[in-house]
Structure 1
């Protein structure tokens, strides 16, 4: 069982990275309640009854939208990774400096992991996520990782299919936001995203002048980057 964190103690609210808004409906309330409970007491210890109670709905309402607890967690996980994957696809195909495109992706991805009332990224590290029920999420996350690999390769001037080892470091830097938020709460990661993006480029050997140019060029990609939810 996971000990409650400062984030998880807050009232339920719509979790995760940005996705299409559907108002405050039962489905959204159930997802928010599930995210808060999975993050605070763990997946195994959370019952659908507890989710319904926190969401303020009847237990039968959960099964109207979701077949079970595993579907709830899978939905939360996919909602977490897909906006980043969509953005990575856009940035990978965009023209211009690959360092700027990588900076924009790292910054946006880290912001999404830092924002919101619940540390939704922490759900990716639940042991249950290794099970067969969550194979689709793992595939989507692998696709996101491949986009990072390709952008890192472009920054290094290497073929995209090379999958440079440095990409592991960049991806890990972005996801360190999850651990930082778990240990220090939301306040600990406020404003961390641009520092993560800077660190990612410095880890690839980008010097100060080139980093400043990449940051400035990334600002021109703002219309491409969705606002954090």
Structure 2
């Protein structure tokens, strides 16, 4: 039986499923996260993902359409929690903008660096530029705009012209996303301390 989108539904038989307690699709995402970040996206086959998740390759297609869907889901998972938090911070009309910007920077770094795999490194893949990943780019653009709004609301940001504001937003956002490379070179560094130091640096760039 197939869904209207063409994906099969039913009761696929798993090979030896790991006792992780995860749902099959989440198991596939976990396997893909590990393999994409250790072997590389291009070098990882759907068979390898399925086997790592403890199921047959044919069974995998009951849950996802293929590697691109897995990559898109993993990419979006790195930005959607930060965007949800950014929306909360934008709605907060009590806390100073400087404090809210600092909290967003810290939380974003903790998300990017706190997981078991360096998913932020997937941003650098050339495959991510294609239309299939438009959803990720849209969410990322909205998150970046939240940074811009918070920066503009700071005392220093309110004095900036449009061009200077955009430049500082680019620099702050670039710093936050760039921490994936710094953290990869020293993975034993405590994420909380790393996140706070990065947030401090971001506010200095913002002039706050």
Q: Report TM bin, short chain.
A: 0.7 to 0.9
Following TM superposition, the consecutive aligned residue runs of length 4 or more in structure 1 with deviations greater than 6 angstroms are none
Return 5+ residue gaps in structure 1 as ranges: 1-11, 15-22, 207-229
Given the alignment of the two structures, is residue 49 of structure 1 paired with residue 25 of structure 2, yes or no?
no
Check the 8 A contact 1:98/1:154 in 2, yes or no. Answer: yes
Choose 1 or 2 for highest CA Rg. Answer: 2
Which of these residues, 161, 166, 181, is aligned with residue 168 of structure 2?
A: 166
Using the alignment, how far apart are the partners of 1:173 and 1:188 within structure 2? 17
Using the alignment, how far apart are the partners of 1:37 and 1:107 within structure 2? 27
In the other structure, the counterpart of 1:187 is 188
Matches within 5 A, 1:205-220: 205-206=207-208
Return 5+ residue gaps in structure 2 as ranges: 1-17
Using the alignment, how far apart are the partners of 1:148 and 1:128 within structure 2? 26
Q: Give the TM-score normalised by structure 1.
A: 0.75
Which of these residues, 72, 79, 82, is aligned with residue 81 of structure 1?
A: 79
What is the count of residue pairs matched by the alignment?
A: 185
In the other structure, the counterpart of 1:109 is 108
Check the 8 A contact 1:114/1:189 in 2, yes or no. Answer: no
Using the alignment, how far apart are the partners of 1:165 and 1:130 within structure 2? 22
Q: Structure 1 137/160 Cα, relative in aligned 2: closer, same or farther at 3 Å?
A: farther
Structure 1 vs Structure 2 CA RMSD: 2.1
In the other structure, the counterpart of 1:137 is 136
Which of these residues, 68, 71, 85, is aligned with residue 70 of structure 1?
A: 68
* Structure with higher RCO (Cα < 8 A, 6+ apart): 1
Using the alignment, how far apart are the partners of 1:58 and 1:181 within structure 2? 35
> How far off is 1:76 after superposition?
0.8
Matches within 5 A, 1:30-49: 30-49=28-47
> How far off is 1:123 after superposition?
1.1
> How far off is 1:157 after superposition?
4.0
User: Deviations 1:151-189 (Å, cap 9, x if unpaired)?
Assistant: 1111134289934311111112211221113333x2146
> How far off is 1:57 after superposition?
1.5
Q: Give the TM-score normalised by structure 2.
A: 0.82
User: Deviations 1:73-111 (Å, cap 9, x if unpaired)?
Assistant: 111111111111111111112112000000110000001
